[in-house]
Amino acid sequence: MKHIIIGTAGHIDHGKTTLIRAITGRNTDRLKEEQDRGISIELGFTYFDLPNGQRAGIIDVPGHEKFIKNMLAGVIGIDIVLFVVAADEGIMPQTIEHLAILDLLGTKKGVIVLTKTDLVDKEWIELVEEDIRNEVRGTFLEDSQIIRVSSTKKTGIDKLTALLNDYASTITERDINDMPRLPVDRVFTISGFGTVVTGTLLSGQFKVGDEVQIYPGNLTARIRSLQVHDEDEKVAFGGQRVAINLAGIKKEDIHRGSVVAPINAMKESMMIDVKVKLLKSAEKAIENRTRLHLDIGTDEVLCRIILLDKEELKPGEEAYAQLRLEETTVSKRGDKFILRFYSPMFTIGGGTVLEPNASKKKRFDKNILEELKIKESGSTVEILEKIIFEKRNEFLSLKDISIETSMLEANVIHDTEILVKENKILLFYTGKDIYPIHKDFCEQIKEALVLEIGKYHEKYPLRLGMPKEELRGRLLKNVNSKVADKLFQKYVEENVIEQTEELIKLKGFYPSYTKEQQRIKSYIMEQLLKDEFLPPKKEDIASSTKVDKLEVDEVFNALILNKEIIKINEEVYLNTQSFDKSLKLLNKFISEHDGISVGEYRDILGTNRKVAIGLLEFFDLLKITKRDGEKRTLIK
């Protein structure tokens, strides 16, 4: 069944609460101070059944300018607004501000309710209605009906109820399969039950027993019970006013402005990219970096506005901007918000969230502005493509993107599959997670890879290749190591690079020695072959060549990397032929004697104890031998 929320708006003392009482028979002013003073201070909640049997939730908002923050917390999620104007006073300041707020928040349906019509004559009513028509021109209420009522005498109430019944059938049903999200507008405790929060469930569904998280923050809780319209329910759906009894969390840990959503479903942020509109009625332009109040969901945060495509925003104009917050908040792409001046506080504009987890943007950057245009009006697939490219250096998984965007992971996966078919992104699987990488970014990585390896070859022309981990650390330090390996494999398959064990080189590259380096190489190999199992120290070879030590080191290291020399330890180096021979002699002796001691190995090689120990320990590391008392045996 479709669920709808009806809300009030209008100036103080224009009869909003009395109207609700006339419709429902219940008083939404629950505080003693409200009842004593005759004005609404906090939000009021109730419900009533429409003629078609549909139960509608009702939110009654305060009309006093001092309580505009409370009003803003209440109008989130309203489907139909009862825009109340008292016939004896007509349009007043808060009437105008409430209208502007509702229009900025994208409210679609509304009824203009002219209250207290029993206090004035017909001619006066007609004058007031004319003023109203002039005021609502160009807003969502422009073509709305005006219903004349007297809440005390109950005239016009039936006609209003019938109209609400008609409107209810035209409201688009909330997506109950979307991510559930409840901005908290009230927190209290009930003896024996604990913490209770209330709010309008914007989408999705919550079930008793669900584990949820309180955002911003990482506190979690369990839904112990649910109430909708004062009745216990097992499931609450988007479009309903919901009271949630939370287990495992204290009242002090939640406040108005918190958001209840599934665990790890959202990501808090201190930067939001937006499309902002300044009211025509604003008294002055907004300059870059102006400090403002941001009202989003039920939260209020101070921020500075960074204008991305204008030097200043004049009344009636729109702009792309970034809001840099003084506290974290959570939001979702498409969320509406209100902006008010820091001081004095009055509504100046509002807009739409384009990127809820933004990175710092440069002003007047054409590429950035083009991305924001797509995020404003593009399809979800186009937007997802831009997000994958924009956040390319973060190498986010599909799950990460789901959290960043507050989109259901299933929807992200669906749109990703379309992008794969369109050959715009590539997917890399690591078992647990799936990582999308934009095809253009793959090409950028490849170009950077070729450049980096080329520089390495130029600096170290004798080396077989660049160590894979060094290359990953320079170009892909943020990427999952398994994804990096898959990227390297992709470039191998494209014949761009070659990989030998942990070394990567450009396709077709081979180490090449200069004449001088060839002479040094020959000298080193000659020295190591003189007495194959009594090799000279590396530094002795270097000093005897009478060549720059760094040049000798480079050739020596190249011979090691190319496996023409085997490094046994820091003091012992053998040429490969000698090493292979030492291993054959080891195998032969052990197979004939069931083990070998250091002294026996020293003697068959004709070497010293240091070299024999070095070789045996090296074979232990290679898992060829193992120590058994004073002897080594072969590992089968």
Q: How many residues does the chain have?
A: 636
Tell me: do 345 and 415 sit in the same domain.
no
How far is the C-alpha of 259 from the C-alpha of 255, rounded, in Å? 9
How confident is the model over 269-287, as pLDDT tens digits? 999 999 999 999 888 899 9
Q: How many domains does the chain have?
A: 5
153 and 58 both lie in a single domain: yes
The CATH number of residue 108's host domain is 3.40.50.300
- The residues assigned a catalytic role are 13, 16-17, 64
Q: Is residue 33 part of a domain?
A: yes
Question: Are 186 and 318 part of one and the same domain?
Answer: no
Task: Dihedral sign for Cα 103, 61, 63, 160, please.
Answer: positive
On whether both 318 and 424 belong to a single domain, the answer is no
Give the 3-state secondary structure of residue 300.
strand
324 lies in a domain? Answer: yes
Q: Which residue ranges of the chain lie beneath pLDDT 50?
A: 31-41, 63-64, 67
Q: Are residues 85 and 158 in the same domain?
A: yes
Q: Please check whether residue 495 lies inside any domain of the structure.
A: yes
Q: How far is CA 614 from CA 226, 533, 607, in A?
A: 72, 11, 11
* Distance from C-alpha of 368 to C-alpha of 100, rounded to nearest angstrom: 29
What is the Cβ-side half-sphere exposure of residue 442, based on CA atoms within 13 angstroms? 21
Are 500 and 409 found together in one domain?
Answer: yes
Q: What is the tens place of the pLDDT at every residue in 229-244? A: 889 999 999 989 999 9
Q: Which of 485, 507, 529 is the last residue of a domain?
A: 507
pLDDT confidence of residue 64: 46
Quick check: is 173 in a domain? no
Contact partners, residue 629, CB within 8 Å, separation at least 6: none
Q: Which pLDDT score is estimated for 563?
A: 85
- CATH number of the CATH domain containing 490: 1.10.10.10
In a domain, 434, yes or no: yes
Give the pLDDT score at 48.
Answer: 87
State how far the Cα of 165 lies from the Cα of 78, in Å rounded to an integer. 15
Query: Backbone phi, then psi, for 176, in 5-degree steps?
Result: -75, -10
Q: Which of 474, 507, 540 is the last residue of a domain?
A: 507
Residues 58 and 139 in one domain: yes
Evaluate whether 590 touches 601 at the Cβ level (below 8 Å).
Answer: no
Residues 26, 144 within the same domain:
yes
Q: What angle do CA 577, 582, 583 make, to 5 degrees?
A: 100
Q: Going by C-beta distance under 8 Å and a sequence separation of 6 or more, which residues neighbour residue 329? A: 216, 257, 268, 269, 272, 294, 296, 297, 299, 301
pLDDT at 34: 38
Q: Could you say which of 168, 195, 220 is where a domain stops?
A: 168
Tell whether 552 is covered by a domain. yes
Calculate the dihedral angle through the C-alpha atoms of 573, 579, 581, 583, rounding to the nearest 10 degrees: 120
Local structure of residue 357 (DSSP, 8 states): S
Indicate if 37 and 150 belong to the same structural domain. yes
Q: Which three-class secondary structure string do you get for 257-282?
A: CEEEEECCCCCCEEEEEEEEEECCCC
Question: How many H helices and E strands in the chain?
Answer: 19, 33
pLDDT at residue 1, as a whole number: 63
Instruction: Enumerate residues 6+ apart whose C-beta is below 8 A from 220.
Output: 211, 212, 213, 214, 248, 249, 263
What's the CATH code of the domain at 248?
2.40.30.10
Question: Per the domain annotation, does 174 fall within a domain?
Answer: no
Can you say whether the dihedral through the CA atoms of 492, 498, 504, 509 is positive or negative? negative
What is the value of pTM for the model shown?
Answer: 0.77
* Whether residue 341 is found in the same domain as residue 417: no
Looking at residue 55, what is its pLDDT? 87
Q: How far is CA 321 from the centre of its chain?
A: 19
Can you give 165-223 as a three-state secondary structure string?
HHHHCCCCCCCCCCCCCEEEEEEEEECCCEEEEEEECCCCEEECCCEEEEECCCEEEEE
Joined tokens for residue 42: 């906090």
Residue 176 lies in a domain: no
Structural domain range at position 249: 182-262
Contact 248, 168 (CB under 8 A): no
Within this chain, do residues 479 and 558 fall inside the same structural domain, yes or no?
no
> What is the DSSP-derived secondary structure letter of residue 537?
P
The answer to whether 371 and 336 are in contact (CB under 8 A) is no
One domain for residues 496 and 626: no
